[in-house]
């Protein structure tokens, strides 16, 4: 039995609740978790607010992981979006633009599993507003459904509560919320009150189980707490 640790984390361009932009503590949290696949939201590449730093490259270097990126918007001389960090080989990557007043995106990577087999790992960040968020959920689902069939894990900041129409849309389309501590709050990081960060799966093979979802205890490095789960492959 092989176990792969999954993480989703909205890092708010590395700005913690103390106002400091510090990618080192984000990287330290990722390393301490033992994560093999990490879906990150709100990263900057070359923007003025992070002094031109390529946050994707820096986190990849600090963690020793492979990286991929999807741009959501142009921002202050650079770009802003989502990223995937992976200890597994990234075989292919695809991006999908999502609608909204502030455009969002989804990044999907095909990764190779030791001993053979592949998995699709995707990260997204949905709109703050209900209607474009619901529309984005369907666009995202159509995008992933149009790719070649693979066991798929989707994670990210959905900006939606467990009982929302957005989460219902996903479950009606065959997505399963990872079992475990799935109703625990993940935002805001210092005193969590709501759950808006998720790890979902669809089409997992019979020898794969996604389980043990839990919210991390990091309360300073971002305004969200990380959410983690385990993928068990027999």
pLDDT at 167: 96
Q: pLDDT tens digits, residue range 48-58?
A: 999 999 999 99
In SS3 terms, 191-226 reads as: CCCECCEEEEEECCCCCEEEEEEEECCCCCCCCCCC
Q: Token match 């650079």: residue?
A: 78
Q: pLDDT tens digits, residue range 8-51?
A: 999 999 999 999 999 999 999 999 999 999 999 999 999 999 99
pTM listed for this prediction: 0.96
Q: CB neighbours of 77 closer than 8 A, spacing ≥ 6?
A: 46, 47, 48, 52
pLDDT at 173: 96
CA distances to 5, 10, 31, 83, 155 from 159, in Å:
23, 11, 26, 17, 12
Distance, CA of 157 to CA of 9 (rounded, Å): 8
Q: CATH homologous superfamily for 2-233?
A: Endonuclease/exonuclease/phosphatase (3.60.10.10)
Strands 208-215 and 227-233: antiparallel
Distance, CA of 63 to CA of 136 (rounded, Å): 31
pLDDT at 116: 85
pLDDT at 101: 84
Question: Which residue positions in the chain have pLDDT lower than 50?
Answer: none
Distance, CA of 46 to CA of 162 (rounded, Å): 35
pLDDT at 182: 59
């Amino acid at each position: 039995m092989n176990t792969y640790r999954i993480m989703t984390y909205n890092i708010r361009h590395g700005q913690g609740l103390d106002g400091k932009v510090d990618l080192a503590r984000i990287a330290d949290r990722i390393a301490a978790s033992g994560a093999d696949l990490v879906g990150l939201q709100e990263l900057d590449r070359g923007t003025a607010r992070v002094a031109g730093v390529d946050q994707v490259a820096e986190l990849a270097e600090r963690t020793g992981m492979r990286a991929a990126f999807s741009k959501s918007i142009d921002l202050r001389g650079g770009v802003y979006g989502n990223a995937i960090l992976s200890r597994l080989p990234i075989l292919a990557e695809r991006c999908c633009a999502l609608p909204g007043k502030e455009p969002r995106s989804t990044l999907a990577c095909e990764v190779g599993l030791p001993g053979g087999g592949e998995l699709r790992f995707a990260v997204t960040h949905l709109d703050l507003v209900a209607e474009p968020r619901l529309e984005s959920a369907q666009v995202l689902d159509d995008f992933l459904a149009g790719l070649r069939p693979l066991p798929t894990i989707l994670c990210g900041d959905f900006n939606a509560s467990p009982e929302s129409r957005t989460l219902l849309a996903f479950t009606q389309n065959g997505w399963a919320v990872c079992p475990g501590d799935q109703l625990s709050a993940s935002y805001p990081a210092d005193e969590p009150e709501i759950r808006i960060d998720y790890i979902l799966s669809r089409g997992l093979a019979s020898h794969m189980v996604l389980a043990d979802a839990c919210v991390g205890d990091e309360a300073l490095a971002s305004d969200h707490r990380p959410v983690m789960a385990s993928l068990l492959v027999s």
